[in-house]
């Protein structure tokens, strides 16, 4: 009996794998790629595995335990990373969550769920998540810069308020003495 298995060019396999793992407009899901290139999903997973992309089928990925008050993984990642930087057990993280209507315990659960995806290879399985992490880091750095500026402005205003309060007290004493 003749071997009827299709043979594919290595460059073709690499191109398909790149499309499967890209985060750009050319990204394809395994199902879409299977239809577009007339290749079975199991063959695509084999290619990805052999080329060390190591994808996890979406059907096998655990569902994200989104924290109450958060509707997207992107937002949950942002909040989780922010709380992690503050320190999950810090008062700052608790204050941040209370001010934004989040539950710190929910954020911790989501962070534990997201922990395995911190490995760069695993993040490539979820290109939109990888892009989200990169954007989140950039947003975090900008927020840190904005926070420092705001704290500096508040410190200056506090100083002005203290000086005005002192001046007011001195005026009241002067009025009392002159009356």
- Please indicate, yes or no, whether residues 36 and 95 belong to a single structural domain of this protein: no
Q: Say yes or no to pLDDT of 120 above 80.
A: no
Domain membership of residue 162 (yes or no) is no
Task: Kindly state whether residues 81 and 136 are assigned to the same domain.
Answer: yes
Residue 76 has a CB neighbour count (10 Å cut-off) of 24
Which residues 6+ apart lie within 8 Å of 97 measured at CB? 79, 83, 103, 104, 107
- Predicted confidence at residue 163, as pLDDT, reads 95
Is position 169 within any domain? no
Q: Domain limits at 140?
A: 73-148
Which run of H or E residues covers position 74? helix 73-86
pLDDT tens across 14-39, in order? 888 888 877 777 788 888 888 998 88
Domain match, 32 and 80 both: no
For residue 57, tell me if it sits in a domain: no
Q: Does a structural domain hold residue 159?
A: no
Measured CA to CA, the distance from residue 93 to residue 87 in angstroms comes to 6
Question: Does 156 fall in a domain?
Answer: no
Rounded CA-CA distance 84/74 in Å is 15
Count CB atoms within 10 A of the CB of residue 22.
Answer: 13
137 and 77: one domain?
yes
Answer whether residue 176 is part of any domain: no
Q: Note the pTM of the prediction, 2 decimals.
A: 0.37
Residue 58 pLDDT: 46
What's the domain count of the chain? Answer: 2
Query: Which pLDDT band holds residue 157 (cuts at 50, 70, 90)?
Result: very high
Residue 172 lies in a domain: no
The answer as to whether 32 is a domain residue is: yes
């Amino acid at each position: 009996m003749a071997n009827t298995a299709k043979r594919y060019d290595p460059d073709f396999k690499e191109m398909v794998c790149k499309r499967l793992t890209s985060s750009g407009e050319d990204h394809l899901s395994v199902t879409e790629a299977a239809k577009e290139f007339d290749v079975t999903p199991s063959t695509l997973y084999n290619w990805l595995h052999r080329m060390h992309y190591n994808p996890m089928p979406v059907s096998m990925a655990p569902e994200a335990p989104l924290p109450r008050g958060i509707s997207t993984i992107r937002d949950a990642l942002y909040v989780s990373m922010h709380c992690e930087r503050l320190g999950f057990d810090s008062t700052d993280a608790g204050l941040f969550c209370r001010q934004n209507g989040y539950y710190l315990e929910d954020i911790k659960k989501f962070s534990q769920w997201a922990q395995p995806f911190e490995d760069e290879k695993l993040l490539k399985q979820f290109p939109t998540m990888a892009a989200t992490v990169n954007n989140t880091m950039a947003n975090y750095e900008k927020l840190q810069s904005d926070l420092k500026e705001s704290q500096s402005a508040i410190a200056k205003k506090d100083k002005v308020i203290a000086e005005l309060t002192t001046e007011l007290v001195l005026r009241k004493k002067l009025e009392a003495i002159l009356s």
